[in-house]
Amino acid sequence: IANARLVRACPINPRQWGFISASGCSENLKLLQLLVKRSKQEHQPLGVVLVDIAKAFDTVCHQHIIVGLNQRGVDPHVVHLINEMYRNIVTYIN
């Protein structure tokens, strides 16, 4: 329920495949293969940029996430649930 409400309030780019239930890597790789093939067939230059945003989400202040959700008009109950998920969280490595 929370995810459905978040997706409506904060839509993501259709090329974004992280954290959703889909096999995005294979689709994106197929798209890249098709672009390279077409570029070769038409003898056109092709520029490709790959961006690795590993660990991007753990560098965002949790309070900024809550402020952003409020600014996007996300249901206050959902914002409260997400805020509670971030409250007093710790990680232990054994």
User: What does the pLDDT read at residue 17?
Assistant: 61
The mean pLDDT value for 54-61 works out to 67
pLDDT of residue 18: 61
pTM of the model: 0.46
Yes or no: say if 66 and 79 are a contact pair by the CB < 8 Å rule: yes
The answer to whether 89 and 13 have CB atoms below 8 angstroms apart is no
Rounded distance, CA 86 to CA 20, Å? Answer: 20
- pLDDT level of residue 21 (50, 70, 90 thresholds): low
Bigger pLDDT: 64 vs 4: 64
Domain limits of the chain?
A: 1-49, 52-93
Question: What's the average model confidence in pLDDT over 18-31?
Answer: 70
Region 44-60: mean pLDDT is: 74
